[in-house]
Structure 1
Amino acid sequence: MTEADVNLKAYPLADAHFTKTLLDLVQQSRNYRQLWKGANEATRTLHRGISEFTVMAVDTGPLEITLHLPLLCGDKNVPYVLMHSKQTLEQACGVSRLVITCSVTIKKGFQLK
């Protein structure tokens, strides 16, 4: 998949500055234990109503794994954004496996808002 194909299909795609801000926020939420990694856990947080926002990688294969998430985010009024690379999302989540999506959750009493 080329860069032009990704830009046509992926909306809303984060630019470089917004990607850096998102990765910093994901790292902070990991430190506060407010981060859920993976498509199944992101779906679970959306169904429970505790998701603050969702970040998805564009270079997911097969794409059908994450196609339900934008629809579910729209139903639950939860913002979502797409990033270029699942490898950068992996580094921000602090795991050794590729992360295709993650969800930042709400916990009362924590400093991350």
Structure 2
Amino acid sequence: MSVYVTTDIPADLAEDALEALEVARDTGRVKKGTNETTKAIERGNADLVYVAEDVSPEEIVMHIPELADEKGIPVVFIETQDDVGHAAGLEVGSAAAAIVDAGEASGDVEDIAGKVEDLD
């Protein structure tokens, strides 16, 4: 487990979170990549943040969990960058993503956020 991974996310919850990201991508708004995700967190626009566990060097995303925690935004740690990128609609991996407008996934996002907060 990487240094920045603060919570061990169960596989079924991670899968549900990726499905919610896909729905939000199609019906809402999603920010992709470390920079866009960081901006969404800083502005308080993110509803749910995704961070890949296989980022190297780790310093690229190390600030995201702490920043999200300060803003009260739940973070889901996903096993690979490819999983995050593909769920966000990219053909390549992404170190991070954020749901800004959940669209039709709003109920799922609220449920996932609650479960992630309960894990802490």
TM-score interval (norm. to shorter) = 0.7 to 0.9
Gapped regions of structure 1 (runs ≥ 5): 1-5
The aligned residue for residue 50 of structure 1 is: 45
Structure holding more helix per residue: 2
Secondary structure of the 1:102 match is strand
Aligned mate of 1:34, from 26, 29, 34 = 29
The aligned residue for residue 94 of structure 2 is: 99
Q: Which residue type is aligned with residue 84 of structure 1?
A: E
Q: Percent identity?
A: 22
Q: Which residue type is aligned with residue 65 of structure 2?
A: P
The aligned residue for residue 84 of structure 1 is: 79
- TM-score if structure 1 supplies the norm length? 0.84
The aligned residue for residue 3 of structure 1 is: none
The aligned residue for residue 74 of structure 1 is: 69
CA offset digits 1:56-81 (Å, max 9, x no partner): 00100110011111111111111112
Q: Is the 8 A contact 2:17 2:76 kept in 1?
A: no
Aligned-residue offset at 1:9: 6.4
Matches of 1:33 and 1:40, distance apart in 2: 19
- TM-score if structure 2 supplies the norm length? 0.79
Where in structure 1 do 4 or more consecutive aligned residues deviate above 6 Å? none
Gapped regions of structure 2 (runs ≥ 5): 107-120
Deviates more, 1:73-82 or 1:7-16: 7-16
The number of aligned residues is 106
CA spacing shift, 1:99–1:44, aligned 2, 3 Å:
same
Aligned-residue offset at 1:41: 0.2
CA spacing shift, 1:16–1:38, aligned 2, 3 Å:
same
CA radius of gyration, larger in: 1
Q: Is the 8 A contact 1:57 1:100 kept in 2?
A: yes
Q: Which residue type is aligned with residue 88 of structure 1?
A: D
